[in-house]
């Protein structure tokens, strides 16, 4: 704005100077009593000098006008970009708010499922997360029983097959108690995975899920991922580090079963992302 004002002042000075020149001729005519005809040569001189000057000043004015328009267009472009950025931020905020509304509704539903879980196999009924204590014992018993049966028959079976056979027996027995639990947890993780958010933006929501899982839940979730019933869940368990806080003392053969876990994830990851 100051540059425009300074240029206008300079331009106005030039115009004033140019228009003063004819008045010099009038002054000379009055001062020295010259005849009008004698001022002809002076007029030719003035015309020869002022016209180029006026043309030059006009050229400067045009250039300055173009620069002013360019500056205005640049300011409008900046304003437009700022508006676009603000709209982008608002859109992102609305998207996150919409995601969080659904996410926390899913969390509330999952917590209700946990609270209504009931262990009908124990001498005394237990409810909620206390059920996982007996569920884990049932899983451990199913695995040991299957290993014993295989040993008694003198069979050689891959460990992953043994785990899955044991989990099948366990699942048939305890399915009514935790089927909805795993289905709900899987739905939440799938919702996070498919959300239109950056990976770093998803981390806080994954941490909310992980914070609610007990040690026994993590152990059961580990073997659920190895089972046929939890094959699809395995990808999310490993991708988002859901069992990063797992107590490996609760794993029946921690090193061997962890290796199997990683191998299954690598093969399933290629299939899932392919």
Is the dihedral angle over the CA atoms 27, 31, 37, 38 positive or is it negative?
Answer: negative
List the chain residues with pLDDT less than 70: 1-54, 56-57, 83-85, 87-88, 121-125, 268-274
Report the pLDDT value the prediction gives residue 57, as an integer from 0 to 100: 66
Look up the pTM and report it: 0.67
Residue-level length of the chain? 274
- pLDDT tens digits for 91-140? 778 888 889 999 999 999 999 999 888 877 665 667 788 889 889 999 99
Asked whether the beta carbons of 223 and 176 are under 8 A apart, the reply is no
**Residues 140, 197: contact at Cβ < 8 Å?**
no
* Average pLDDT over all residues of the chain: 81
| Among candidate residues 243, 219, 229, 121, the one with its CA nearest the CA of residue 165 | 229
**pLDDT value for 223:** 95
- Burial of 149 from C-beta contacts in 10 A (0-12 / 13-18 / 19+): middle
């Amino acid at each position: 704005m100051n540059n425009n004002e300074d240029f206008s002042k300079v331009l106005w000075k030039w115009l004033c100077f140019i228009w003063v020149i004819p008045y010099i001729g009038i002054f000379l005519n009055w001062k020295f009593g010259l005849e009008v005809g004698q001022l002809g040569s002076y007029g030719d001189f003035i015309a020869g000098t002022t016209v180029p000057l006026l043309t030059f000043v006009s050229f400067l004015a045009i250039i300055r006008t173009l620069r002013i328009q360019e500056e205005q267009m640049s300011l409008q472009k900046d304003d437009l970009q700022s508006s676009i950025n603000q709209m982008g931020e608002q859109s992102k905020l609305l998207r996150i708010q919409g995601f969080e509304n659904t996410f926390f509704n899913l969390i509330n539903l999952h917590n209700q499922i946990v609270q209504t879980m009931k262990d009908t196999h124990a001498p005394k009924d237990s409810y909620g997360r206390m059920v996982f204590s007996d569920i884990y014992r049932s899983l451990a018993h199913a695995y040991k029983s299957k290993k014993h049966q295989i040993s008694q028959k003198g069979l050689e079976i891959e460990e992953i097959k043994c785990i899955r056979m044991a989990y099948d027996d366990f699942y048939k027995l305890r399915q009514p108690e935790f089927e909805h639990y795993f289905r709900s947890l899987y739905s939440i993780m799938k919702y996070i995975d498919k959300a239109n958010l950056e990976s770093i933006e998803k981390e806080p929501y994954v941490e909310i899920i992980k914070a609610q899982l007990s040690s026994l839940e993590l152990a059961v979730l580990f073997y659920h991922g190895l089972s046929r019933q939890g094959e699809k869940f395995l990808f999310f368990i490993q991708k988002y580090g859901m069992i990063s806080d797992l107590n490996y003392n609760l794993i029946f053969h921690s090193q061997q079963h962890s290796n199997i876990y990683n191998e299954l994830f690598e093969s399933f990851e290629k299939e899932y992302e392919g």
